[in-house]
Structure 1
Amino acid sequence: MNIKLVLSTLLFPCFLFGQGEQLEAIENDLKFINLFSADMKEGVSCYRIPSIITAKNGDIITAIDERVPSCGDLKWSNDINIVMRRSSDNGNSWSDIETIVDYPLGESASDPSMILDETTGEIFMFFNYMNLKTEKNVFYLKMISSMDHGKTWSTPTDMTSQITKPEWKTDFKFITSGRGIQTRSGTLIHTLVNLENGLFLFKSDDHGKNWSLIETAIKPADESKVIELEDGSLMINSRVNNLGVRYIHTSKDNGNTWTSRPDNQLVDPSCNASLIRYSSIKNGGTKNRLLFSNLNSKDSRENLTLKISYDEGKTWSKGKVIYPGSAAYSTMTLLKNGDIGLFFEKDDYSQNVFVKLSLAWITDGKDGVK
């Protein structure tokens, strides 16, 4: 055994080495598993923009940008790939990094997001694409899918014409990273941003065969998450730049009209966040529970916090701090054992870590029943 490793473990017990060279950090009774960082692959500048989902068979799928020449976003990098890792044991161990979208140099794919169709088991992964050689500054919106729990993926499909308007061709537009939803009726719904025109929903009513745009613009909003409420209404939780809090939009008519308000309970420094449903009475749960993770700070990308709501987002708990230091985008999924999987950018984008959280831990033991 490496003597230096033994000594460092004894002297600094908060750090442990997991499988391979994967670094695990124990802080505040939480174990952070670093899944993606530049030191894991030669030539990569950084990994950014996390996405996570639980497949129908219970496997956890994480996807992220592999940004090669620089950490720049899509418009400023000619080599961004989408890569993934998988866990089949509730996040205890992980597969090697696998590339699933890789275009020739000069073309880039960015901002992965996923939806699981609970009926068919198909996973849809969306991403934004740009050819910096021939159409710099023109954004295309694309999709791949998997019918075998993320083991293999289809070739990319360009869905730009289905979910945008022709006059948007040169607009700054993108599908929100992270994840979308499936409603109780089976409709798949996701969000896209047009910086000039607002936030929009797009949907599929036939299990992903065809997609369409809901043409009502939602403002103010940037990167957003949509959820179905217990009464069938839609609620969107939005990043709004330079406001210091999140904005909430609700619709009772499937997205045709919206009511909007700022939510002063949800402090935010203008960053992508995560919103998922933990349980629903209509789906057999004992309570309605929504979970929200973001940076609980008005002006700094730090203090990642998770909050819970028992009244469909009207009020939120004070929150449990997941990581007080530097953090950024976060995304969540419900694991097959009932825990919550949280995947987030940590320490000035240098690491992208996974952490498991129990409902009992989040609520300090006050709510440990499904």
Structure 2
Amino acid sequence: MADVTVPFRAGDEGYAAFRIPAVVATGTGTLLAFCEGRVDSAADHGHIDIVLKRSTDGGRTWAPLQVAASNGDDLAGNPAPVVLDTGRVLLVHIRAAATATEAAILRGQVDDADGRRVWVQHSDDDGVSWSAPREITAQVKRPGWRWYATTPGHALQLSTGRVLVPANHTLPPTGTDTGAEPRYNSGHCLLSYDRGESWHLGYLDENTDGYVNVNETTAAELPDGRIYFNTRNDSPAPGNRADAHSEDGGRTLLTPFRPQAGLTAPVCQASVLQLRDPDLLLYSGPADPARRARMTIRASTDGGTTWRPAFTVDGLPAAYCDLVRVDRDTVGLLYETGDCGAYETITFRRLPVRRLA
């Protein structure tokens, strides 16, 4: 049976492009592979739906495409799914006007009503059907923040029951030129203490000196209860990855994000996943330092302090990705890749845990 499948291919099923993958496994073992279905082009704005494919055989085959979240002809994106201990699947995501480009949002030229707003939906039947969307922007986005994005990738439910969604935002520029683009991104997370009914802001990392420029962030709960955060670093600091830890479930960071020189990578999103048996923290992302290519899984046995190569997929173009534990013996990798460019397909690969340990 196939260990490599292609759930999403650009140009298929009514979408010009598929971007921003996220994958989770439900309590029954069903895999839910999410991404953005971009209707007219590969651009980050426009008519975008969050689409979904389900697999009941560990990712070997996939059911037909369905739309999990739609915003009419506008944008629904940045899927951040999480499976709760109740069996419910939460889907936290972003909505915005189709015409709201990133550049215009960064310059403050987009009204709040058309800008990046935060919503949540849920499914109680393993992703077959979804609730109506509910807006939570006022709970998790401060006035004045411009750009806003959840993850990309899966979110977490911690061992305490708390739900944690990594996210990032930009602050308006200081000084008199309020129409300029902000120079620095900032990081935060969303927290829910009641399984998604209400939401709060967790840590804030708003470093404006340009040393570490926190952007798209992924997280994992370590066996000792600490939260490990790993982020895309857009600054000229050493390397393009940075990380941090929290000892209070994401409410604060022990120290601000610092460069992680043990992870060679281009400027790109990545994913982390904590395995409990064996005790292994995994990181996936492109490993070419200069371009989005060479998808690689790396492993840490010390909570993200040091890393070693565990598996290189190939040398092809590759970009955004997400990791999932399929079963005791298998890890799944959902990632953007292609022969000539990184955004031709979103591919799913099954990997034996023994090859990563």
| Fold shared, TM-score > 0.5 on shorter chain | yes
Residue 309 of structure 2 corresponds to 318
Q: Which moves more between the two structures, 236-245 or 157-166?
A: 236-245
Q: 1:317 to 1:133 in 2, by over 3 A?
A: closer
Distance 1:193 1:71 in 2: 22
Query: Percent of pairs identical after alignment?
Result: 25
> How far has the Cα of 1:179 moved from its partner?
1.1
Distance 1:250 1:61 in 2: 28
Residue 102 of structure 1 corresponds to 70
Residue 297 of structure 1 corresponds to 288
Contact 2:244/2:253 (<8 A) preserved: no
Equivalent residues in 2 for 1:211-250 (5 A)? Answer: 211-217=199-205, 219=207, 220=212, 221-243=214-236, 244-250=239-245
Distance 2:120 2:314 in 1: 32
Distance 1:242 1:97 in 2: 37
Contact 1:52/1:331 (<8 A) preserved: yes
Amino acid at match of 1:273: A
Q: 1:351 to 1:295 in 2, by over 3 A?
A: same
The answer as to 2:251 corresponding to 1:265 is no
Distance 2:115 2:44 in 1: 13
Distance 1:87 1:104 in 2: 26
> How far has the Cα of 1:83 moved from its partner?
0.9
> How far has the Cα of 1:228 moved from its partner?
2.0
Contact 1:47/1:67 (<8 A) preserved: yes
Residue 198 of structure 1 corresponds to 186
Amino acid at match of 1:115: V
Residue 28 of structure 1 corresponds to none
Distance 2:299 2:22 in 1: 20
Distance 1:270 1:97 in 2: 30
Q: Which moves more between the two structures, 33-42 or 80-89?
A: 33-42
Residue 172 of structure 1 corresponds to 147
Deviation string for 1:31-89 (max 9, x for gaps)?
Answer: 431111134224x2111111100011100000111101111103xx1x11111101101
Residue 272 of structure 2 corresponds to 275
Distance 2:273 2:284 in 1: 9
Distance 1:162 1:71 in 2: 31
Distance 1:114 1:210 in 2: 16
Contact 1:288/1:311 (<8 A) preserved: no
1:210 to 176, 187, 198: 198
- Structure 2-normalised TM-score? 0.85
Contact 1:85/1:97 (<8 A) preserved: yes
Paired residues in the alignment total: 321
> How far has the Cα of 1:265 moved from its partner?
1.0
Distance 2:229 2:5 in 1: 30
Contact 1:276/1:292 (<8 A) preserved: yes
Equivalent residues in 2 for 1:59-74 (5 A)? Answer: 59-74=30-45
Residue 348 of structure 2 corresponds to 354
Residue 106 of structure 2 corresponds to none
> How far has the Cα of 1:232 moved from its partner?
2.2
- Structure 1: give runs of 5+ residues left out of the alignment: 1-17, 19-23, 25-30, 280-284
Distance 1:262 1:112 in 2: 26
Residue 153 of structure 1 corresponds to 130
Distance 2:240 2:11 in 1: 35
> 1:223 is paired with a residue of what secondary structure?
strand
The answer as to 2:156 corresponding to 1:181 is yes
Residue 252 of structure 1 corresponds to 247
> How far has the Cα of 1:242 moved from its partner?
4.7
Deviation string for 1:173-218 (max 9, x for gaps)?
Answer: 1112111111111111111111236100111111111111125325
> How far has the Cα of 1:166 moved from its partner?
2.5
Distance 1:94 1:235 in 2: 31
Contact 1:242/1:270 (<8 A) preserved: no
> 2:317 is paired with a residue of what secondary structure?
strand
Deviation string for 1:318-352 (max 9, x for gaps)?
Answer: 23101211000010100134300110000220111
Distance 1:335 1:205 in 2: 27
Residue 121 of structure 1 corresponds to 87
> 1:331 is paired with a residue of what secondary structure?
strand
Distance 2:252 2:61 in 1: 44
Distance 2:355 2:203 in 1: 41
Q: 1:218 to 1:288 in 2, by over 3 A?
A: farther
Distance 2:57 2:154 in 1: 21
Residue 338 of structure 1 corresponds to 329
1:306 to 288, 297, 301: 297
Amino acid at match of 2:62: W
- Structure 1-normalised TM-score? 0.82
Distance 2:235 2:188 in 1: 20
Amino acid at match of 2:215: D
Q: Which moves more between the two structures, 51-60 or 236-245?
A: 236-245
Residue 177 of structure 2 corresponds to none
2:96 to 114, 126, 130: 130
